[in-house]
Amino acid sequence: MAFTNTPFVDGNAITEADLKGRIGNFETWLNGGSVTGDLSHGEWVTKGHVLRPEFIGGSDDRAEFCTGTTRYRVHTPDKVGAEIFHAEARGGGSGSGSDNWEPVNGLNVTIKVYRPMTVIYTASWLAWETGNSALQQCSGSNVLETEFLNNPNYVAADFALYSQKMDGTTASLTQYAATRRRLYSSVKLTNDKQNTDITGWSKSAGKQMATHHVFDLTAGIYNVGIRCNPQNGGGGSPFVTADGVNSQNIFVRARSCVVDAHFNAAT
């Protein structure tokens, strides 16, 4: 769209504001005043002029793009890259509320939202709990106690997608409840009288988890990603309430996430 001039009127006084205003208008046009209509103006905007969204690993934030950004993080299932929530380090037990939810390294990115944007978050991860010393899979009558599997009385951890503006407060902290996924405690097989060839702890509590969500953010810098709320395995019998006695370690191994941030109609 061509710059629209506002002519001076012959005979009128010219003030400093008149001059600054007109120069300012032109500067605005030259530096950033183009409008959507420009895209069809003479059809001179081609694909060559529009920067493609960059695909950037990690949270490094170095560029602005016309249509949005895409970021991803991946972690292979090796032990070095594992995210482990040890009983003594987690917020559960002494923490409360949102303090119990800890970002899962590898499933979180920092994004800069230049103007109102729509965020598309997709992630999958493998998690399990091990080290539970209280939950036994066999009763005294030699009956397999399968009731303990995936039982909500014995929750090892909850996972959920969060977004939080990096402004030093928790005012913007948002959990997207539709993304919550639950991990249940493993069971101890040492005293299993039916499966006597099995010893130690089972990793049957392990789960492949996946979720996605679409949500809008206003301008700002945000942390976006999955957070974990490690728990004591529940307060129900046979568990005791002291943290670290029951659910011991929460592992998150192979995991990946992709975060698309796109300009939207409100931009």
Partner 1 sequence: MSKVSFTPIQPGDVASITAPNATMTATATATAAVNAENVRQEGLDERSISFPLVSTLSHNSGDWAKNITKSTSMWLKVPSGGTWTGGTGSAPTFSSGVPFSLTLGTNFSYAVIRYTFEVRIEGRVGSGNDVNEDLGFALFRNNILLPVTERHIQNSVAKSQAATKSQAARSVESVTLLFYHTLNGSYDFDLRYYIDNHGLGALNPDAANLGWVNGPSDAITISRLTASVIKYK
> Closest separation between CB of residue 190 and partner 1, Å?
18
Q: Which of residues 73-92 bind partner 1 (CB under 8 A)?
A: none
97 binds partner 1 (CB under 8 A): no
Extract the tokens encoding 136: 């036994």
CB of 80 to partner 1, least distance (A): 25
Give the nearest distance from C-beta 37 to partner 1 in angstroms. Answer: 11
β-strands 68-75, 55-57: how paired? parallel
Which residues of the chain form beta strands (DSSP E)? Answer: 55-57, 68-75, 83-86, 102-113, 117-130, 155-165, 174-184, 207-217, 220-230, 249-263
User: Exposed, middle or buried: residue 7 (CB in 10 Å: 0-12, 13-18, 19+)?
Assistant: exposed
How far apart are the C-alpha atoms of 213 and 166, rounded to whole Å? 20
- Residue from 17, 80, 171, 265 touching partner 1 (CB under 8 A): that is 265
The binding track of 217-256 with respect to partner 1, each residue x by CB under 8 A or -, is: ----------------------------------------
Is 62 an interacting residue with respect to partner 1 (CB under 8 A)?
no
Q: Which of 69, 100, 211, 229 binds partner 1 (CB under 8 A)?
A: 211
The tokens of 187 are what?
């069971």
Q: Does 94 bind partner 1 (CB under 8 A)?
A: no
